[in-house]
């Protein structure tokens, strides 16, 4: 479904990605793990059109989207939940969700999207008239995910969805990611909490200083001694 080929991204003289290649198959949950500064956020931002690579290719369902602007990539079936949530604090929950549906014009489809989001996130329905800036961190993360789902994506990129959240919210967010996957949306997940990410992923890639150094079945990687030592605190 998604194919990344030989992706190189430079920030001035710093090479953030050094020719990485990987793929995400339809229906999978793929985890991208690694330390801070490994290039995980850069990878997602390049895939979704927020950054332009120096060289390499990004293919979505066989179509080259490397130079396609981000807003057009959304209408092609990809959504991105950015690091730090980035909700619109001065808009209500309802208005934030409507912003997620800006690429859609069919009222029935938009209504169906609202139903799906409110089913996954009942708290958002309760708070639909509340300003997003007054929500808790966990609720803002739910709103960022709900807003992305409003475009009814076939693949969703999530960048550090559990960052800064209490353990209860972390558990809830990961349960929701699994529900999103079971409902048919492919997930590419960047996550600092490697143990949680590997627990719900089908496969995983390990990124170190702009290179993919390990990849494979998520459960196998979870039992790999080098992964346990470096990322799982064991």
Could you report the per-residue pLDDT of 143-157, keeping only the tens digit for each? 999 999 999 999 999
Comparing CA positions, the residue from 90, 153, 145 lying closest to residue 123 is: 145
Question: Could you tell me the CA-to-CA distances from 222 to 33, 210, 226 in Å, in that order?
Answer: 11, 21, 9
DSSP reduced 3-state for 132: helix
DSSP 8-state class, residue 102: T
pLDDT in tens, the chain (234 residues): 999 999 999 998 899 999 999 999 999 999 999 988 899 999 999 999 999 999 999 999 999 999 999 989 999 999 999 988 789 999 999 999 999 998 888 888 899 899 999 998 999 999 999 999 999 999 999 999 999 999 999 999 999 999 988 999 999 999 999 999 999 999 999 998 999 999 999 999 999 999 999 999 999 999 998 888 888 876
N-to-C CA span, the chain: 34
Residue that has been written with the tokens 């710093």 in this structure: 14
Q: Is the distance from CB of 82 to CB of 141 less than 8 angstroms?
A: no
Sign of CA dihedral 182, 100, 73, 174: negative
Q: Residue 24 and residue 30: Cα distance in Å, rounded? A: 7
pTM of the model: 0.92
Comparing CA positions, the residue from 32, 3, 59, 52 lying closest to residue 211 is: 32
User: Which distant-in-sequence residues (6+ apart) come within 8 Å of 57 by Cβ?
Assistant: 3, 4, 5, 6, 7, 64, 66
User: Per CATH, the architecture of 2-231 is what?
Assistant: 3-Layer(aba) Sandwich (3.40)
pLDDT of residue 84: 80
Q: Structure tokens of 91?
A: 């808009």
Q: Structure tokens of 119?
A: 């089913």
pLDDT tens digits, 175-216: 999 999 999 999 999 998 999 999 999 999 999 999 999 999
The Cα diameter of the chain in Å comes to: 51
pLDDT of residue 234: 61
pLDDT of residue 103: 81
DSSP reduced 3-state for 68: coil
pLDDT tens digits, 126-137: 999 999 999 999
pLDDT of residue 232: 81
pLDDT of residue 99: 93
């Amino acid at each position: 479904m998604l194919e990344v080929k030989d992706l190189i991204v430079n920030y001035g003289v710093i090479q953030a990605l050094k020719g990485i290649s990987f793929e995400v198959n339809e229906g999978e949950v793929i985890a991208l793990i690694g330390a801070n500064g490994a290039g995980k956020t850069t990878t997602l931002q390049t895939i979704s059109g927020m950054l332009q690579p120096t060289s390499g290719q990004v293919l979505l369902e066989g179509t080259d989207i490397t130079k396609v602007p981000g807003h057009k990539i959304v209408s092609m079936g990809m959504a991105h939940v950015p690091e730090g949530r980035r909700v619109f604090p001065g808009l209500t929950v309802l208005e934030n969700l409507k912003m997620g549906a800006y690429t859609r014009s069919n009222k029935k489809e938009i209504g169906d999207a609202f139903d799906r989001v409110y089913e996954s996130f009942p708290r958002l329905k309760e708070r639909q008239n509340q300003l997003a800036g007054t929500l808790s961190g966990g609720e803002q993360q739910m709103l960022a995910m709900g807003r992305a789902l409003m475009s009814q994506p076939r693949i969703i990129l999530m960048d550090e969805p559990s960052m800064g959240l209490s353990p209860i919210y972390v558990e809830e967010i990961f349960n929701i990611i699994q529900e999103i996957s079971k409902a048919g949306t492919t997930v590419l997940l960047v996550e600092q909490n490697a143990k949680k990410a590997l627990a719900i992923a089908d496969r995983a890639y390990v990124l170190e200083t702009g290179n993919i150094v390990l990849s494979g079945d998520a459960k196998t990687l979870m039992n790999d001694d080098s992964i346990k030592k470096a990322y799982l605190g064991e």
